[in-house]
Amino acid sequence: MRPLDAAGAVPLAVVERSGFPESQHVGAAVVVGPDGAQRTALGDVEALVYPRSALKPFQTVAALRAGVELDPQGLVIATSSHVGSPRHVEAVRALLAAVGAAEGDLRTPEAWPSSRRATEDLVRAGLGPSRIAMNCSGNHAGMIGAAIALGVPVATYLDPANAVHGLAAAVIEEHTGAEPVRPGTDGCGGPVWAVPLRALARGYATLFAAQPALAAAIRAEPVLIEGEGTATTRAVAGLGVVAKSGAEGVWCAVAPDGTAVAVKVLDGAHRAAAAVAVALLAGAGAIDGGAADRFLADPALAITGGGAEVGRVRVLV
């Protein structure tokens, strides 16, 4: 199997400025029903992609299977790609404490919060980047909890040979129906595997159907899964979907009726992926059309000039 490339990509969205098509995002996208059967496919949806942080729901389920007990907040923060706000950091600390670990056990890279406000607060306090502020710290806390529950070394929880990752790979294969291949290292230092885009959408449909508590927790805490104003949080709060982003233009979601979508923007841009996914879910009748229109009209998709809106990111699907 080959990775998604330009030959397998189709136009997904155009960036318009002053009525002129300034840029275009190409990629692939797929919609599947609650049973995982394909409904809509754009581009080569059998090509491999790295889901990046869109694999986190599978890793959270792996932690549960290892024996980690997660309350609703723990379920969400373990699955999150958070912006590093004080609330997110407190939730990660609570998860670490619940599994019997400490902040010093984290092996995430030191980072500033992706939240500008949180970063400014740290600067004013004379503080700097930290491992817990890194957006994957909740996911790593879940891995640490899984290592403790399995009785394997915590110090090497990022080692691909650690049993934590074998369990995660098994969960991915069970729900996607595809063997995870091309093992690599994610930006946080954790593992990442490649799967076909269609299989990723199927995995979301089947995993969240089998894990209603995880789905309910994310829907109840849209800010905790990512952060105020982000596409994922806006989609969960405004559309009732369960959604998760992944670096390099990946975005997946499951609608309340179980319909799932997975999008990969080939150039890695984030600004178009969620919009394309939402438009596809609305086209499939899986979410309210009016709510989808409001999502697509959000200022986050505006193109500005001189401080005023002069264009939009417009989906082509």
Q: What is the pLDDT of residues 231-287, one digit of tens each?
A: 999 999 999 999 999 999 999 999 999 999 999 999 999 999 999 999 999 999 999
Band (148; pLDDT cuts 50, 70, 90): very high
Helix (H, G, I), strand (E, B) or coil at 248: coil
Mean pLDDT of 279-297: 97
- Structure token pair of residue 204: 């979301």
The amino acid present at 10, given as its one-letter code, is V
Question: Domain residues of the chain, as ranges?
Answer: 6-315
Residue that has been written with the tokens 């369960």 in this structure: 242
Distance between CA atoms of 246 and 136, rounded to whole angstroms?
Answer: 11
Which of 250, 316, 231, 248 has its CA nearest to residue 280? Answer: 316
The confidence band for 170, taking pLDDT boundaries of 50, 70 and 90, is very high
For residue 213, CA distances in Å to 19, 74, 118, 227 come to 45, 11, 30, 21
Residue 52, pLDDT > 90, answer: yes
pLDDT of the residue at 224? 98
Tokens of 85: 């706000």
Share of the chain above pLDDT 90, in %: 99
What pLDDT was estimated at residue 1? 84
Mean pLDDT of the chain: 97
Give the C-alpha separation, 255 to 261, whole Å: 9
Q: How large a percentage of the chain has pLDDT more than 70?
A: 100
Q: Is 69 exposed, middle or buried (0-12, 13-18, 19+ CB in 10 A)?
A: exposed
Q: Which two tokens stand for residue 250?
A: 């990946």
Asked if residue 232 lies in contact with residue 250, where contact means CB atoms within 8 angstroms, the answer is no
50 band by pLDDT with thresholds 50, 70 and 90: very high
Phi, psi of 227 (to 5 degrees): 170, 155
What pLDDT does residue 63 have?
A: 98
| CA pair distance 88, 108, nearest whole angstrom | 15
Matching residue, tokens 């080939």: 266
User: Distance between CA 150 and CA 147 in Å, rounded?
Assistant: 5
Q: Partners of 20 in the beta sheet?
A: 17
Residue 72 is which amino acid? P
In the prediction, which pLDDT does 185 show? 98
Question: Has domain 6-315 been given CATH number 3.40.710?
Answer: yes
**Average pLDDT of 12-26?**
98
Q: Do the beta carbons of residue 132 and residue 89 sit within 8 Å?
A: yes
Q: Are 27 and 263 in contact (CB under 8 A)?
A: yes
